[in-house]
């Protein structure tokens, strides 16, 4: 299979330095600690009594999974720095060792809080007749059923593994749940053994006709350990769950990128153990055995009072208990597409269209690809894919288009973390159908989201473009808030053509008319716009910046925001996750306010607004949507887009509805304090929720008229917390 690579050494650009010195480390919040605080906010939703019970269970499972992935990647990176004797400090001044110590201390408290939450939820589930029971509590008929179930469904897939000089300690896969045992043979000789619990077995086994009682898999296995070791005596046993390093290193001189990634995925499965979680009751004897065999540090051991691997609780969120979940929500088809009978090309010829997912259906994005595949006038389709699904209608449309003879080019990012294997399968599937598959850059990730359709209309060629803040994934599009822009603006289309040439060839784009791109000039352009706002504030007394993103980490941009605040520019930021900026610090950032929205939907859209010398919202503002967060990797290690909204009506919608609503939100918002902690804005269940607002019919009144304009950092604003 041929592989096309773009060698970035020919197109690489220098990083743009700040025009002022970076602030001292004390003025930055540590990235890792900020992420853990985000996960605390997710866990708080599991304790929020205003959320339906099973949704609280879902938040708990998400928090646990988030923490696992944090250890797989971020903590693994810190440990690798120590092993390589790298002692560079983070932007906030902490060494890798200091960060590891701080992370482990905070994470252990978080794990304890997670299980405290699980015990609380267990009681509330019991009030609805839903419970986790022990085998000893079953009646005789149920015990007989369980014995048959174990014999037929569980016993055949379990594999006890001896550990002795002739049988080395076996490999336990990442995210593995495993028993460790000490047993005596008939002669009284002590033996060690392991029983890995296969991931393809259900963690929670329903019992009884009403389907409300469950047995834990580990409880069932422990009940029948004697069946696994006949004639042996079980002296001691315990349970552990481990997490391995899941970072991947790809060599720049790889001749076949697909094969290189396949090998790297295999190596990931065998990564170093970076965290071991054990049940609190495990004996020191068993624990010492596992720790010594895995060769891990004691600080990486977490004793858990409760359930290991809470991520599996998602199995209990079943359709028959819909009354314990969020009410169903059906996304709407945008009125512009409805007006043209769903014909995307006709709608885009008339005007640009802006969708706000998941409130506006992702179906329109899929229709755009499907119609392009079937339209005999379409000559070519170009698309970037970062995360999607093998069974996605988008993949089917691309294959149909290629089979119909259209020129289809897809840039697939193999380095999309934890989706690498899926993307390899997609690449091979698309190539076999005749799609031109390009894997982009070796040392950059292609993270921008765009699709361009080239269509012949009479004697002219016209381009149609979709650009967005989210992935082409119909599953996550139901739960992530994102922005989609459909446009036939030929200036933007020309820019997109140059960007695709950059991704598929060697041509660095020059003379772009509107589009701003990383790694070329996005950071520099943002700095220019912040400095312009500073100058406008000096001249007019009005400087305003609104921005919404997932993460704010880049110290250069943070330094510029501090500079703008010191110059009197009023800055309102909605940062869902990591934020390394300290707001509200006198003399530094007293004009900056940072909130985080954590709710039913994952806030994922990136929006940037500059007042341009006027109060926001304003028709003269400069408004952008983006695929990029404000992180060093997004500016220097990824291909990203910053997309201007040129249509006045769409600009107004973004400013007066989406951004104003996000800034006005109270019910799901947390306010970042100068010390790096977050405080919930309100516990009032009737307070304004931006997510609830957008789930209402589109004729609902705008959120902005009754919302206070986020001008300065008035005490009344901060006193709400």
* Domain CATH number, residue 295: 3.30.1840.10
**465 & 554 share domain:** no
Euclidean distance between CA atoms 126 and 213, whole angstroms: 9
Residue 671 forms part of a structural domain:
yes
**139 & 106 share domain:** no
pLDDT digits (tens, 9 = 90+) for 105-119: 999 999 999 999 999
pLDDT digits (tens, 9 = 90+) for 194-237: 999 999 999 999 998 888 999 999 999 999 999 999 989 999 99
Catalytic residue (one of 241, 334, 447, 604): 447
Tokens encoding 362: 């992702």
CATH number, domain of 397, equals 3.30.870.10
Residue 317 forms part of a structural domain:
no
**450 & 556 share domain:** no
Choice among 122-126, 250-254, 616-620 with the minimum mean pLDDT: 250-254
| pLDDT higher than 70, residue 420 | no
Residue carrying structure tokens 């290629």: 402
Furthest C-alpha separation in the chain = 92
**53 & 199 share domain:** no
| pLDDT higher than 60, residue 173 | yes
Using DSSP's 3-state secondary structure scheme, residue 616 falls into coil
Q: Return the bridge partners of 546, or none.
A: 572, 609
| pLDDT higher than 70, residue 264 | no
Last residue of a domain, one of 510, 525, 546: 510
**275 & 333 share domain:** no
pLDDT digits (tens, 9 = 90+) for 497-530: 999 999 998 788 999 999 999 999 999 999 999 9
pLDDT digits (tens, 9 = 90+) for 309-358: 999 999 999 999 999 999 999 999 999 999 999 999 999 999 999 999 99
**CB count in 10 Å sphere of residue 272:** 13
- Residue 444's pLDDT is 87
Average pLDDT of the segment spanning 57-81:
94
Last residue of a domain, one of 476, 510, 544: 510
What burial letters (b/e) apply to 641-679, b meaning 16+ CB within 10 Å?
bbbbbebeebbbbbbbbbbbbbbbbbbbbbbbeeebebe
pLDDT bracket for residue 268 (50, 70, 90):
very low
Euclidean distance between CA atoms 449 and 627, whole angstroms: 7
Euclidean distance between CA atoms 666 and 383, whole angstroms: 38
**527 & 657 share domain:** yes
- Residue 406's pLDDT is 96
- Residue 583's pLDDT is 98
**536 & 668 share domain:** yes
Residue 324 forms part of a structural domain:
no
pLDDT bracket for residue 463 (50, 70, 90):
very high
pLDDT digits (tens, 9 = 90+) for 568-577: 999 999 999 9
- Residue 210's pLDDT is 80
- Residue 702's pLDDT is 63
Active site residue 7: no
- Residue 700's pLDDT is 59
**572 & 552 share domain:** yes
Q: What is the DSSP annotation of 344-382? A: HHHHHHH--EEEEETTB-THHHHHHHHHHHH-TTEEEEE
Indicate if the alpha-carbon torsion angle 254, 256, 257, 263 is positive or negative. Answer: negative
- Residue 429's pLDDT is 84
Residue 170 CA, distance from chain mean position = 32
Q: What is the DSSP annotation of 55-95? A: HHHHHHHHHHHHHHHHIIIIIHHHHHHHHTT--PPPTTS--
Choice among 383-392, 504-513, 706-715 with the minimum mean pLDDT: 706-715
Which pTM was predicted?
A: 0.89
Residue 15 forms part of a structural domain:
no
**498 & 523 share domain:** no
**647 & 688 share domain:** yes
Radius of gyration (Cα) for the chain, nearest Å?
27
Euclidean distance between CA atoms 288 and 457, whole angstroms: 73
| pLDDT higher than 80, residue 423 | no
Last residue of a domain, one of 465, 482, 510: 510
pLDDT bracket for residue 253 (50, 70, 90):
very low
Cβ atoms of 16 and 523 closer than 8 Å: yes
| pLDDT higher than 60, residue 705 | no
Q: Any idea how long the chain is?
A: 721
CA atoms within 13 A on the CB side of 256: 7
**568 & 603 share domain:** yes
Residue 261 forms part of a structural domain:
no
Average pLDDT of the segment spanning 390-404:
91
Q: Is the peptide bond before 521 cis (omega within 30 degrees of 0)?
A: no
Residue 388 forms part of a structural domain:
yes
Euclidean distance between CA atoms 451 and 634, whole angstroms: 20
Indicate if the alpha-carbon torsion angle 697, 702, 706, 710 is positive or negative. Answer: positive
- Residue 704's pLDDT is 54
pLDDT bracket for residue 715 (50, 70, 90):
very low
| pLDDT higher than 90, residue 468 | yes
Residue 139 forms part of a structural domain:
yes
pLDDT bracket for residue 25 (50, 70, 90):
low
Using DSSP's 3-state secondary structure scheme, residue 108 falls into helix
pLDDT digits (tens, 9 = 90+) for 134-171: 999 999 999 999 999 999 999 999 999 999 988 999 99
**377 & 484 share domain:** yes
Average pLDDT of the segment spanning 531-551:
97
Average pLDDT over the chain reads 89
- Residue 697's pLDDT is 80
Average pLDDT of the segment spanning 661-680:
97
Residue 262 forms part of a structural domain:
no
Q: Specify the number of domains making up the chain.
A: 4
Indicate if the alpha-carbon torsion angle 223, 296, 35, 524 is positive or negative. Answer: negative
CATH number, domain of 62, equals 1.20.58.310
Query: Domain residues for 361?
Result: 329-510
Residue carrying structure tokens 């007042």: 611
Residue 340 CA, distance from chain mean position = 35
Average pLDDT of the segment spanning 685-705:
81
- Residue 565's pLDDT is 98
**CB count in 10 Å sphere of residue 189:** 8
- Residue 179's pLDDT is 97
């Amino acid at each position: 299979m041929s592989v096309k690579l773009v060698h970035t050494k020919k197109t690489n650009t220098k990083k743009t330095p700040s025009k002022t010195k970076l602030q001292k480390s004390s003025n930055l919040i540590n990235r890792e600690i900020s992420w853990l605080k985000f996960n605390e906010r997710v866990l708080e939703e599991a304790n929020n009594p205003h959320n339906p019970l099973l949704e609280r269970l879902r938040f708990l499972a998400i928090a646990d999974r988030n923490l696992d992935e944090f250890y797989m990647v971020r903590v693994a990176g810190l440990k690798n720095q120590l092993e390589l004797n790298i002692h560079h400090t983070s932007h906030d001044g902490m060494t890798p060792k200091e960060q590891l110590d701080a992370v482990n201390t905070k994470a252990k408290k978080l794990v304890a809080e997670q299980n405290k939450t699980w015990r609380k939820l267990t009681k509330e589930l019991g009030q609805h007749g839903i419970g986790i029971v022990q085998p000893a509590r079953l009646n005789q008929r149920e015990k007989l059923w369980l014995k048959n179930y174990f014999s037929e469904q569980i016993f055949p897939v379990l594999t006890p593994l001896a550990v002795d000089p002739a049988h080395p300690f076996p490999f336990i896969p990442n995210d593995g749940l495993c028993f460790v045992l000490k047993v005596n043979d008939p002669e009284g000789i002590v033996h060690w053994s392991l029983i890995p619990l296969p991931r393809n077995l259900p963690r929670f086994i329903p019992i009884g006709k009403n389907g409300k009682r469950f047995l834990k898999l580990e409880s069932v296995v422990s009940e029948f350990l004697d069946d696994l070791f006949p004639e042996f005596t079980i002296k001691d046993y315990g349970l552990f769950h481990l997490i391995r390093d899941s970072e991947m290193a790809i060599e720049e001189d790889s001749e076949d990128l697909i094969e290189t990634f396949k090998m790297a995925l295999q190596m990931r499965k065998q990564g170093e153990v970076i965290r071991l979680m054990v049940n609190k009751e495990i004996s020191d004897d068993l624990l010492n055995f596992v720790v010594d065999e895995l060769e891990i540090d004691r600080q990486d051991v977490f004793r858990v009072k409760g359930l290991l691997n809470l991520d599996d609780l998602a199995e209990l969120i079943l359709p028959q208990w819909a009354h314990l979940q969020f009410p169903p929500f059906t996304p709407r088809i945008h009125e512009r597409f409805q007006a043209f009978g769903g014909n995307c090309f006709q709608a885009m010829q008339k005007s640009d269209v802006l969708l706000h997912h998941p409130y506006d259906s992702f179906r329109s994005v899929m229709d755009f690809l499907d119609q392009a595949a079937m339209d005999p006038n379409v000559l070519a389709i170009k698309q970037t894919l970062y995360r999607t699904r093998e069974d996605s209608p988008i993949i089917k449309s691309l294959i149909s288009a290629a089979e119909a003879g259209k020129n289809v080019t897809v840039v697939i990012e193999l380095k999309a973390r934890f989706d690498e294997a899926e993307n390899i399968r997609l690449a091979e599937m698309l190539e076999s159908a005749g799609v031109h598959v390009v894997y982009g850059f070796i040392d950059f990730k292609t993270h921008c989201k765009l699709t361009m359709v080239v269509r012949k209309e009479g004697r002219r060629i016209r381009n149609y473009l979709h650009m967005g803040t989210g992935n082409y994934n119909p599953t996550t599009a139901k739960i992530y808030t994102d922005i989609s822009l459909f446009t036939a603006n030929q200036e933007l289309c020309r820019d997109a053509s140059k960007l695709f040439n950059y991704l598929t060839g060697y041509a660095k784009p020059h003379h772009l008319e509107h589009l701003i791109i990383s790694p070329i000039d996005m950071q520099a352009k943002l700095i220019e716009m912040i400095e312009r706002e500073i100058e406008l504030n000096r001249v007019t007394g009005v400087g305003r910046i609104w921005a919404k993103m997932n993460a704010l980490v880049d110290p250069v941009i943070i330094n510029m925001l501090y500079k703008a605040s010191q110059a009197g520019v009023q800055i309102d930021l909605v940062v869902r996750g990591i934020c390394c900026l300290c707001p509200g610090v006198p003399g530094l950032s007293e004009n900056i306010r940072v909130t985080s929205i954590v709710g039913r939907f994952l806030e994922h859209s990136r929006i940037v607004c500059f007042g341009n010398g006027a109060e926001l919202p304003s028709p003269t503002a400069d408004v952008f949507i983006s695929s990029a967060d404000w992180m060093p990797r997004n500016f220097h290690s990824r291909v990203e887009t910053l997309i201007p909204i040129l249509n006045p009506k769409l600009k107004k919608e973004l400013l007066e509805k989406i951004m104003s609503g996000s800034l006005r939100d109270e019910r799901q918002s947390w306010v970042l304090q100068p010390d790096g902690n977050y405080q919930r804005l309100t516990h009032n269940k009737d307070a304004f929720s931006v997510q609830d607002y957008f789930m209402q019919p589109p004729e609902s009144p705008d959120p902005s008229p009754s919302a206070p304009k986020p001008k300065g950092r008035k005490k009344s604003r901060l006193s709400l917390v």
